[in-house]
Every structure is written in C-alpha cells, then in structure tokens.
Structure 1
C-alpha cells in the first residue's frame, strides 16, 4: 500500500514525465529514494535522441550500481510514472534494487495505445514480476494514473 508521504515522490515522477514531454520525449519519469526518504537520484526519459535504452528506470539502476552498496540498493525504492518495461525490470533486478511503486501499469499503457490506434512497441510490455519475480511491486496508483494517461495522449497526438 502506498502511503500518503510517498505520494510526493509519485507527483515528482509525473513532473519529470511532463518535463520529458515538453522536451519532445516520451513522458516517463522516475525517482530513486533511500529508506529514510532521501531522494538519491531522479531522471526522465531521454530516448528522443535515438537511444531507446535511455529510460529513467534503467538510468537509475545504472546510477545505483555505481554509487550504492548492495545493502543500500536493496533498501531503496524506485518510484516511477509507468511500470518498468522488461529491459528496466531486468536491470532493476540485476543490480538488486528494492521495491518499485508505479503510477500506471504496462497493461493500462497497452490499453491506451490500442484505444488510440498506436502500433505496439517492439518489446512486449510484460508486468515487472514476469521478468523479475522477486521484486516487490506496487501500483497502479489510481489518483495519478489519469495524469499519466493525459501525458501519453498528448505525446501520441490523440484526441
């Protein structure tokens, strides 16, 4: 269950996703938080330049591997605007990060894209636990999912 104090991190994820959209990128944002509530790192999508591995969740996994001990990684939480894709879920598990809390699910995004007639992505949008079964995952967060849907709608240019 997502606690009220955690909502500020999810709101920041939506802000980062908005920044990405305003910069011409896909609207995704993520925040890495330590066990005491300290924001350790944050990022947003940066795939517009052509490198489609520049997802914020992947960047946070790489950052944590370079800057945190295994115990610190395991105690951290990744908050994100959208559920990790399979690439990001694998990176998360391989570096040993802790819990994931997401605003909108891969299933929701898939449904929205189909509704708007957007072609499927090149990688199947699997739930995190199908890729990384040991990771604790929470989401979606209904109160914010509508905001993420609107960002996705704007990115894909649909009414």
Structure 2
C-alpha cells in the first residue's frame, strides 16, 4: 500500500459519502489504468430497488466495453468496501487486475451485525473465494473506520 493507493482509496471513500448523501448505501469505486489514469468512477445506486447497481459491477461492464483484455489485466480497481460475490465474479469474468479496498467483507459483516441489520441472502465471501489467483490488498484501518461510520449513518436513518 503506497501513497498513490491511499489517494485512490480516499477518492473511493468520498464517493461512498456522495452515495450516502444521495440516500444510497455508502460504497464507491474507481478504475485506474496500468498507467495510473482514472478511467471510471461510480458509487452505489441500489436505493431505486435494483440491488445489482454496485459501482464495482458498473466498472466491470465499462471495462468490458471500453478496454482490451491486456488493458483490463493491467488495471486496478479501488473500492471503499471489498467486492461482494456478484462484483467479484464480474471482475473475474472480464479479467480485471488487482483489487485494493479500504474495508473488508468481514469488517462489514461484523459492523452490520453490531447494528442489528438483517444479514443478506447472499453469502458474504472474500474476493479470493470467488476469483482464483486475484491480487488483493486491504483493508486500511484508518479508512475502514471512516467507512464504518458511513454505514452507521446509513443504517441509523
């Protein structure tokens, strides 16, 4: 984890805050090329009822339509929270490279349990349980605590 990774993760947390401000679950993600260029960014859009509108899934779709296989493999996805199984699978199917996250699936599961949130019907799995041989890095304790507070704010509404 270096200063560039932390800068990109900070942007993801900012996008998660934007999602929260828009009344949505606080998740944000960006796609960065192998050359370091931010190519795509998004935040959650599940408040309308389509629970597949995760930013990581949108990144996978965008990458499949706009990048070569080699460009996808060299890219990095940064995200405020570790991918869910749906997003992990999409990431794997389109052949994106490394995933760097601020907070982990196990952290989120614990936080939601503490808040009394009913568990999802979809099993919470780490990325490596869904995609073989994927490079991942995270969590980052100081950013994870910020993400925790965003989830606390969302679920206390």
**TM bucket, shorter chain:** over 0.9
Deviating beyond 6 angstroms after TM superposition, the runs of 4 or more aligned structure 1 residues are none
TM-score by length of structure 2 reads 0.98
Aligned match of 2:105 = 106
Deviation, 1:37, is 1.0
Give the gaps of 5 or more residues in structure 1: none
What is the distance in 2 between the residues matched to 1:100 and 1:84? 9
Aligned match of 1:5 = 4
Give the gaps of 5 or more residues in structure 2: none
Aligned match of 1:54 = 53
Deviation, 1:4, is 1.2
Cα deviation, 1:105-144, whole Å, max 9, x if unaligned, reads 0000000011111110121110000000221111101121
Aligned match of 2:25 = 26
Aligned-residue CA RMSD in angstroms? Answer: 0.8
Deviation, 1:83, is 0.2
TM-score by length of structure 1 reads 0.97
